[in-house]
Structure 1
Amino acid sequence: MTFLEAMSKKRLFCDGGMGTILQERGLKAGELPETWNLSHPDAITAVHRAYLEAGSDIITTNTFGANALKYPDDLRQVVTAAVRCAQTARDEAARPDAYIALDLGPTGKLLKPMGDLDFEKAVALFSETARIGAEAGADLILIETMSDSYEAKAAVLGAKEGCDLPVLITLIFDEKGKLLTGGTVDSACAMLEGLRVDALGVNCGLGPKQMLPIVKRLREISSLPLIVNPNAGLPRSENGKTVFDVNPAEFADCMAELASLGVSIMGGCCGTTPEHIRHTVAACQDLPFTQPVKKHRTVVCSFSQAVEIGGAPVIIGERINPTGKSKFKEALRENRMEYILNEGLTQEDNGAHILDVNVGLPGIDEPAMMERVVTGLQSVTALPLQIDTSDYTAMERGMRLYNGKPMLNSVSGKRESMEAVFPLVRKYGGVVVGLALDESGIPDTAEGRVAIAKRIYETAEAYGISRDDIVIDALAMTISSDSGSALVTLETLRRIRDELQGHTILGVSNISFGLPQREIINANFYTMALQNGLSCAIINPNADAMMRSYRAFLALSDRDPQCAGYIAAYGGQAAVEKAQPAGAPLPLGETIEKGLREHAAKATAELLQAMAPLEVVNTELIPALDRVGKGFEKGTVFLPQLLMSAEAAKAAFEVVKDAMKGEATEKKGTIILATVKGDIHDIGKNIVKVLLENYGYEVMDLGKDVPPESIVLAAEQNGVALVGLSALMTTTVVSMEATIRLLRERCPQTKIVVGGAVLTPEYAESIDADFYARDAMATVHCAQKVLG
């Protein structure tokens, strides 16, 4: 029976922790676990065998950190040996029905533009490991412990491009249901379902009880089989050893509750043992097994926001488009990204839910420009994007590099169009705008347009694309040349809603082309279209008339409880203020909050003409960073925006420094940062560094995989008052504890702050750290306490 067949027929049980068991069997602090595939194959095989004997149906290879960054010379040997150990265990345990999952963990790096790892390089790293594992005989791919949706996408694409095995993925959420880089359960689920993984779920970071609300939400929104591999509760340190607080019986009781939600694959992560799995199998194997139910949802998402189409009408901002916009054309030709990004931010401020991105212009390299604009926008806004192009190369470039599940504008009923677009949607995921036209042109009747919509639905289904991921453009044609065209469009909207139960979209302003005072026609037609079932509208959200129409419709159709949105927009105002046009000068604080580097530098230079440099820092720069930091802590600002704001502040600081040349400047103090020995994951450390530097602290970054002696020596030689230590993996926390012990001996006055996915406040206290930082802003607060 193939793995996919088995997963569809019964609940399967995964194995549990590997690293924590290897530590008990002699894995030294800082020693790479994957090297044991070559040096201690019998020990690896024994762990696999123990899990199989405990009832595991799936054993994961000891390849969590196996990629060419960590193993540039012997990756093939390490991965092949890992699969061989699992195969040997399966034979020895007489479990031919068990499956071997090639384990792919994170690279430990943050992807561009937030970090320094190129997206395509990340795809290639995962692809290489997947290819080797498949050749060695793995049955499936399990991507695990992903805390960044962009790296998760790179891993899925890499796995699928490297082999044809089933691909499963689990992510690591915090108790608020957030990924490290701001992703939510809804946004991550939409993206991964769009990428067509075979199952998805959660692992690590939390115990089974803490995972319950996350799994409940996943079950509500996901149509895929769910995987749950929790830790054995929360870690703590006892006599220099990491232990977990949930025993096998307690673990199994919690897992039974999760099984009742319809989880298809259950296992464990850090701290779990064969006994945890044995108890879980006994508690869950006879519970009713149900197939996941198809959720008919139409969802577009960015890395952190999911927009569902089919409830309240969705506004798609139309301003990132050169058609009829001379300034925008000029910005494209001159590659003035900040003008383009500010167009997006202005539309966000004025109520857009999704941003249309069209960069097609004669003489421009559209694929390259699409890449720059899509990645640039995603670094300053969390709004989902609609990739709008007729250039299929640009379309694929934008879809591939997009961090989420985009809208795609568009496909038509023409055979050539569908053959070009649907394979891209099948591979990358997306909600597609289907134009109700074909080789014969645009039908004059609603009946003709509905017939094309049906054909688009049917062809999409043949490519494995659900009609839920199709939104039909009923086509708004100008009434100046055909006075009955609006009526045809409105009838088409009604019929698609009532007869096909489909979703619709319109480029609303097309209706008024060639007429004076176009906003009058546009706004009234918009209201009529909404009344007739319009799901999404491509409009200018900066236009007051359009937004009045939208908000009034919501209030009148009982989609704005207590008219709260209407009142928030217009209460107490004699008139709505005109939106600030893109390209207009912005206050310095706003440029920092929006992450606009060039604008920040320019605004700082202008302020310095009237204010002293330190006054600019203290009254403008630091307060803006504080506002962004508070937003991050509240969950209203996400990591990409946090980092881009820091970059904008850095640009402003550079202008201030130039103005202060020759003057004595205040030094707040020096902080050492390091990822501890044995750990190559420096995502968190690098984020912390950026923020600390922007708050005026000098940072000595010792890098990753740093021995305790090196950290202590640097602290001694530089007399630092604060050391920050980072670790992602349970197996390397022992190195963190060893570093702290040595610092206490030789630098007793130095304060220590620790952070990382596997840590908790209680664990930090148990290893004698002074502070626990759950995120980058918390580290800044620690620095302020210690250094001022």
Structure 2
Amino acid sequence: MGTMLQSAGMQDGKIPEEMNIESREIVIDIHKKYISAGADIITTNTFGANRIKLEKSKYELEEIIRAAVHNAKEAAKEFENVSIGLDIGPIGELLEPMGTLSFDEAYETFKEVVMLGEKYNVDLYLIETMTDLSEARAAVLAVKENSSKPVFCTMTFDESGRTFTGVCPESMCIALNALNVDAVGINCSLGPKEMVPVVDKILEFSKCPVIIQPNAGLPVSVNGKVVYNVKKEEFAEYVIDFVKKGASLVGGCCGTTDEYIQYLKSKLKGESKAQRSNKQISRVCTATRFVNIEGVKVVGERINPTGKKLFKEALRNNDLDYVVREAITQVKNGADILDVNVGLPEIDEKKCMVNVVKEIQSVTDVPLQIDSTDCKVIEEALRVYNGKAIVNSVNGTEESLNNVLPIVKKYGAAVVALALDDNGLPKSAEERIAIAARIVKRAEEIGISREDIIIDALTLTVSAQQNQAKETVKAVKYITDVLKLKTILGVSNISFGLPNRNLLNRTFLTMCLNSGLTLPIVNPGSSEIMDTIMAYKVFNMEDVNEENYVKHFAVNQDEKTTTKERDTADLKEIVIEGLKDEAAKATESLLQEKKELEVVNEYLIPALDIVGERYEKGIIFLPQLIGSAETVKKSFEVLKQSLKSKESGSLSKGKIIMATVKGDIHDIGKNIVKVILENYGYDIMDLGRDVNPEYVAEMVQKHDVKLVGLSALMTTTVKNMAITIEKIKDKKQDCKVFVGGAVLNEEYAKMINADFYARDAKESVKIAESVLRKH
């Protein structure tokens, strides 16, 4: 749509959605061209139609959507069997914890759009060009909860195989399939050739139909004009191959005019879609990591107040850093999944659970098991959880089945099924098995798949009920071998009240593992327990050539950490781990013996360098990068206050102006770069978004700034970036300009006369250091 509007004469910087009202005939004509070319679905000119993006528009949101839908219907009325999809793009702001927009605010923003789609009766919804899985989930839920129409959702990936925020294709499929979308896939960002590895993963992992919409390659300059570098013939060749592999819906994104669609349609005649055979595998995920529940996976038990005095105090005092430390420590010690229970009668469990889930997901990427007896707590946690979680738990009572299972189904979570019912704790393996089978039957009746049901055959304290240990082991084996279901057990329950608990725990664990236990809930800080699991994996052929076993014992076991052993004054580690609340305290402690700049240069900058290096290598992703940057901000507040009290010195390493160019209302990339640069000690003058070229140049001259960062996310506004650079160069010859944004690359940056191209936030730091060190 953007390409077609530009070729029809849309002015640079114009809000494309306003053309639904001001240039109706142009928009209608574009729709007709695509329908005539053979499109079965046309999407409305509403990609940026939400109240946040249209903040500066002269028109109300409803005016624009009403006109957009009317234009599409007007174009389609002469044709048969054409569906109209309401196009829903990103909001343009980062959601928490990376940004400031809450999940609920994002949901309400999308809900407004969906309600208007319902009012003006579109046929379906296309959520597209998403980079943040949390935002995609908010949009999907807004459709699912306010409409019965089909919903497609596509995300945009770069050549690393991940989205801008680090989402992997596998997690996208797992999480969005869980929400029961009608199609999931990829659009924009890449040409069809570059999309191949991502498409292959989506086709492997998605249970629902797959939608593919590549760009016509990448924008390049030919005789001063921007064109896309993939011709319709090459485009069609790759897209047809996607169909042969199993894609159900195909089309085009940036640069694909009606000619591309017409040519593709003609070549698709006679082609048949491959039947995909998706193996039903138990999986959970976060946005950046997925876990196949195949073989043994460790569930960390430590985020639970039961029997933990310090943990209870932390929850009462809202000390989330204590909870986050437990999460980080368990992951370091080998946990694959973390059980999260914050149930204390004297606190607001729902509010606490939501905050804990957000905080843990900002510092680590392992999937979570939401553990509560309160259905409202479970639902609120699943709503904000960025991925697919496990719910712990449902049991065989009618109350539990009626209350918990619908929530599990709605959010597509996996669920732990406790083998107990109204008759209380079962005494035999057979009773446990019967209850488990009944829960599975009820779950399947409402559409929960067997691979998402995990049976807890109950671990009872051997000191009180010695004969029950063998019954549990027997039940685990039957459930594994006969019912073909996954199993989970809280292993340490077995040894309460007895000496040498670790011996009992690991012996019982070995018996259960040998009977097929999939998910042992254990303390990963126990070397005996983790060593037992490592050894078992060797004998069960889960550790091929004993590689992990050898690596595990090559590491000095003394390096294993527990919360109590941690030095809270280690500011560098605090920054790396993103423990925001501890940063101020550690900084104050260091200031007793260090000067402010020494703290910056010896602790903060080295920590950020380590975080940046991990980010560049793909070890961590944007949430963790932002988390560390926000932690540094807490430290900087203390340092600046200290300097102010002494009335001496400055922490600034130089001044940088940043702006999103005229006509572009996206702040995401710029804001991330701003946060990172600020925390490296640079003073940032943020001019905001949709900034006039003349104003940027004036501010450069007025404040004698040596470096400017410009951002653009839309192809329609890159020309204004070139104009802005020209104005800056005219006024201040020794000012350097770096540029960034999804539509840019190195070649394009040179074409518009930028001095540097910043592919990500870390690159901008290198640029700043190279330029401002000279001044």
TM-score by length of 1: 0.95
Q: CA deviation at 1:113?
A: 2.4
User: Which residue pairs with 2:259 in the alignment?
Assistant: 275
Whole-Å Cα distance in 2 between the matches of residues 386 and 353 of structure 1?
A: 11
Which amino acid counterpart does residue 330 of structure 2 have in structure 1?
Q
* 1:667/1:367 CA distance change after superposition, 3 Å: closer
Q: Residues 125 and 152 of structure 2 are in contact (CA less than 8 Å); yes or no, is this contact kept in structure 1?
A: yes
User: Which residue pairs with 2:593 in the alignment?
Assistant: 610
Q: Give the SS at the match of 1:260.
A: helix
1:523 equivalent in alignment to 2:509: no
Q: Residues 329 and 561 of structure 2 are in contact (CA less than 8 Å); yes or no, is this contact kept in structure 1?
A: no
Give the one of 693, 703, 728 matched to 2:713: 728
Q: CA deviation at 1:730?
A: 1.6
* 1:292/1:97 CA distance change after superposition, 3 Å: farther
Whole-Å Cα distance in 1 between the matches of residues 318 and 207 of structure 2?
A: 42
Q: CA deviation at 1:462?
A: 1.6
Which amino acid counterpart does residue 157 of structure 1 have in structure 2?
L
Compare 66-75 and 361-370 and name the one that shifted more.
Answer: 66-75
Q: Residues 29 and 735 of structure 1 are in contact (CA less than 8 Å); yes or no, is this contact kept in structure 2?
A: yes
* 1:379/1:27 CA distance change after superposition, 3 Å: same
Whole-Å Cα distance in 1 between the matches of residues 227 and 281 of structure 2?
A: 42
Can you list the C-alpha shifts for 1:80-127, whole angstroms capped at 9, x where unaligned?
1111111111113x2x21111100000000012221212111101111
User: Which residue pairs with 2:392 in the alignment?
Assistant: 409
Q: CA deviation at 1:780?
A: 1.1
Whole-Å Cα distance in 2 between the matches of residues 686 and 122 of structure 1?
A: 18
* 1:736/1:578 CA distance change after superposition, 3 Å: closer
1:212 equivalent in alignment to 2:212: no
Q: Give the SS at the match of 1:479.
A: coil
Give the one of 466, 471, 474 matched to 1:488: 471
Compare 446-455 and 168-177 and name the one that shifted more.
Answer: 446-455
- Which aligned pairs between 1:231-380 and structure 2 lie closer than 5 A? 231-311=215-295, 313-380=296-363
Q: Give the SS at the match of 2:245.
A: coil
Whole-Å Cα distance in 1 between the matches of residues 744 and 411 of structure 2?
A: 34
Whole-Å Cα distance in 1 between the matches of residues 246 and 265 of structure 2?
A: 15
Which amino acid counterpart does residue 511 of structure 2 have in structure 1?
M
Give the one of 60, 66, 73 matched to 1:80: 66
Give the one of 14, 18, 43 matched to 1:60: 43
User: Which residue pairs with 1:230 in the alignment?
Assistant: 214
User: Which residue pairs with 1:704 in the alignment?
Assistant: 689
Which amino acid counterpart does residue 296 of structure 1 have in structure 2?
Q
Q: Residues 661 and 712 of structure 2 are in contact (CA less than 8 Å); yes or no, is this contact kept in structure 1?
A: yes
* 1:716/1:574 CA distance change after superposition, 3 Å: closer
Q: CA deviation at 1:618?
A: 1.5
Aligned residue-pair number = 768
Q: CA deviation at 1:640?
A: 1.2
Whole-Å Cα distance in 2 between the matches of residues 711 and 769 of structure 1?
A: 15
* 1:217/1:574 CA distance change after superposition, 3 Å: closer
Q: CA deviation at 1:256?
A: 1.4
Q: Residues 503 and 535 of structure 1 are in contact (CA less than 8 Å); yes or no, is this contact kept in structure 2?
A: yes
User: Which residue pairs with 1:500 in the alignment?
Assistant: 483
- Which aligned pairs between 1:25-64 and structure 2 lie closer than 5 A? 25-64=8-47
Can you list the C-alpha shifts for 1:502-534, whole angstroms capped at 9, x where unaligned?
111001111112211211111111122111111
1:756 equivalent in alignment to 2:756: no
Whole-Å Cα distance in 1 between the matches of residues 519 and 607 of structure 2?
A: 35
Q: CA deviation at 1:556?
A: 2.8
Q: Residues 640 and 651 of structure 2 are in contact (CA less than 8 Å); yes or no, is this contact kept in structure 1?
A: no
For structure 2, the 5+ residue unaligned runs are none
Give the one of 623, 644, 656 matched to 1:640: 623
Q: Residues 325 and 563 of structure 2 are in contact (CA less than 8 Å); yes or no, is this contact kept in structure 1?
A: no
Q: Residues 447 and 492 of structure 1 are in contact (CA less than 8 Å); yes or no, is this contact kept in structure 2?
A: yes
Q: CA deviation at 1:374?
A: 1.0
User: Which residue pairs with 2:658 in the alignment?
Assistant: 673
Can you list the C-alpha shifts for 1:709-742, whole angstroms capped at 9, x where unaligned?
2211111212211111111122222222222232
Whole-Å Cα distance in 2 between the matches of residues 29 and 577 of structure 1?
A: 58
Whole-Å Cα distance in 2 between the matches of residues 418 and 239 of structure 1?
A: 67
User: Which residue pairs with 1:15 in the alignment?
Assistant: none
* Identical residues among aligned pairs (%): 49
Q: Residues 372 and 392 of structure 2 are in contact (CA less than 8 Å); yes or no, is this contact kept in structure 1?
A: yes
User: Which residue pairs with 1:443 in the alignment?
Assistant: 426
Which amino acid counterpart does residue 307 of structure 2 have in structure 1?
G
Which amino acid counterpart does residue 416 of structure 1 have in structure 2?
E
Whole-Å Cα distance in 1 between the matches of residues 3 and 44 of structure 2?
A: 15
Which amino acid counterpart does residue 328 of structure 1 have in structure 2?
F
User: Which residue pairs with 1:161 in the alignment?
Assistant: 145
TM-score by length of 2: 0.96
Q: Residues 83 and 123 of structure 2 are in contact (CA less than 8 Å); yes or no, is this contact kept in structure 1?
A: yes
User: Which residue pairs with 2:376 in the alignment?
Assistant: 393
User: Which residue pairs with 2:92 in the alignment?
Assistant: 108
Q: Give the SS at the match of 2:298.
A: strand
Whole-Å Cα distance in 2 between the matches of residues 742 and 237 of structure 1?
A: 21
User: Which residue pairs with 1:125 in the alignment?
Assistant: 109
* 1:274/1:26 CA distance change after superposition, 3 Å: same
Give the one of 125, 128, 137 matched to 1:144: 128
Q: Give the SS at the match of 1:408.
A: strand
* 1:477/1:698 CA distance change after superposition, 3 Å: same
Q: Give the SS at the match of 1:157.
A: helix
Q: CA deviation at 1:77?
A: 1.4
Compare 266-275 and 276-285 and name the one that shifted more.
Answer: 276-285
* 1:344/1:574 CA distance change after superposition, 3 Å: closer
- Which aligned pairs between 1:190-201 and structure 2 lie closer than 5 A? 190-201=174-185
Compare 71-80 and 388-397 and name the one that shifted more.
Answer: 71-80
Can you list the C-alpha shifts for 1:220-258, whole angstroms capped at 9, x where unaligned?
111111111011001123455321001111111111122
1:627 equivalent in alignment to 2:627: no
1:479 equivalent in alignment to 2:462: yes
Task: Specify which structure has the bigger relative contact order, considering alpha-carbon pairs within 8 angstroms and separated by 6 or more residues.
Answer: 1
User: Which residue pairs with 1:4 in the alignment?
Assistant: none
Q: Residues 544 and 576 of structure 1 are in contact (CA less than 8 Å); yes or no, is this contact kept in structure 2?
A: no
Q: CA deviation at 1:569?
A: 2.5
User: Which residue pairs with 1:91 in the alignment?
Assistant: 77
For structure 1, the 5+ residue unaligned runs are 1-17
Q: Give the SS at the match of 1:471.
A: strand
Whole-Å Cα distance in 2 between the matches of residues 131 and 419 of structure 1?
A: 30
Whole-Å Cα distance in 1 between the matches of residues 492 and 395 of structure 2?
A: 20
1:178 equivalent in alignment to 2:167: no
Q: Give the SS at the match of 2:85.
A: strand
Can you list the C-alpha shifts for 1:20-67, whole angstroms capped at 9, x where unaligned?
110111111111000011111111111111011111111000000001
Whole-Å Cα distance in 1 between the matches of residues 555 and 311 of structure 2?
A: 35
Q: CA deviation at 1:584?
A: 5.0
Which amino acid counterpart does residue 480 of structure 2 have in structure 1?
R
Q: Residues 133 and 167 of structure 2 are in contact (CA less than 8 Å); yes or no, is this contact kept in structure 1?
A: yes
Can you list the C-alpha shifts for 1:310-333, whole angstroms capped at 9, x where unaligned?
23x111111111100011111111
User: Which residue pairs with 2:757 in the alignment?
Assistant: 772
Q: CA deviation at 1:275?
A: 0.7
Whole-Å Cα distance in 1 between the matches of residues 348 and 566 of structure 2?
A: 23
Whole-Å Cα distance in 2 between the matches of residues 306 and 492 of structure 1?
A: 28
Can you list the C-alpha shifts for 1:561-589, whole angstroms capped at 9, x where unaligned?
33222222222748675635277525111
Whole-Å Cα distance in 1 between the matches of residues 445 and 233 of structure 2?
A: 47
Whole-Å Cα distance in 2 between the matches of residues 579 and 387 of structure 1?
A: 22
Whole-Å Cα distance in 2 between the matches of residues 556 and 298 of structure 1?
A: 22
* 1:341/1:576 CA distance change after superposition, 3 Å: closer
Q: Residues 182 and 304 of structure 1 are in contact (CA less than 8 Å); yes or no, is this contact kept in structure 2?
A: yes
Q: CA deviation at 1:656?
A: 2.8
Whole-Å Cα distance in 2 between the matches of residues 139 and 470 of structure 1?
A: 34
